Amino acid sequence: MRRLVFPKLTRSGGSLRAIVVACAVVTCIHEALITQVPITKRDIYYRNVELFKKQLVVDNMVDDLAATFAVTRDELFVRASSKGVFCGSVLSLRLESGTVIAGNDRQPTIIPSGDDIQELIIEEDIAWVMVIEKEAVFQTLCRVGFTRRNAFERPGILLTGKGYPDIATRQMLHKLSTGLPEEWGWR
C-alpha cells in the first residue's frame, strides 16, 4: 500500500494555507478537465492573486499534483503559456481541431501548444530557419519582410521565444528540424 501525504508538512506541522492553495488549484484543474479546455499556470495564478501571492506557488502546486497522481501536466489539461512567435508565409500550422493557422511575412504569428499542432505545412522550399533571441530584433526583421527579402534565393522562417523559449516554441523548432526533407540539409 502506498501512502500519500499532501500537501507536505512544514516545520510547524502543517499549513491550512497550503490546503486552501491545493483546493483552489485542483478546482481550476477540475474545471479544465470537465470542459476539456486547457488552462495555463498563469491563468490559475490570475484567478486568485491574493491567495497565491507568487506565480511560483501555482507552478509548484501543479507540478506536485502531477507528480502525486503520476500524470503529466498535459493530462491535467494544464499547459504552458505560449509566448513564442514565428514569421514567414511559407509555414502554416494545421491544428488538431482542423483549424489552419497561416504564417505571414510581416506580422508575427503566435505558436500554439505543441500538442495542438497536428502538422506543419511548408508551402514551398525554404532556404533557412533563423532563431532569434531578442524580440525587438525579431519584430524589426518581420516588419521589413526579411523572410522574403534577403540574400538567399529562397524564403525562410523567423522564430523567437522572446528570450528564454517556452515549451511550445522548443517543440515547434524540434518539429521543424525533424520534419523537413533530408535533401534540404537540415539534419
The catalytic residues are: 46
Neighbour tally for 77: CB within 10 Å:
18
Distances (CA, A) of 69 to 10, 72, 106, 175: 21, 9, 44, 29
Q: What is the largest CA-CA distance in the chain?
A: 67
Neighbour tally for 92: CB within 10 Å:
16
Distances (CA, A) of 84 to 62, 92, 112, 166: 22, 15, 8, 7
**What SS3 string covers 156-178?**
EEEEECCCCCCHHHHHHHHHHHH
* Alpha helix (H) residue ranges in 36-148: 41-47, 49-52, 55-68, 135-143
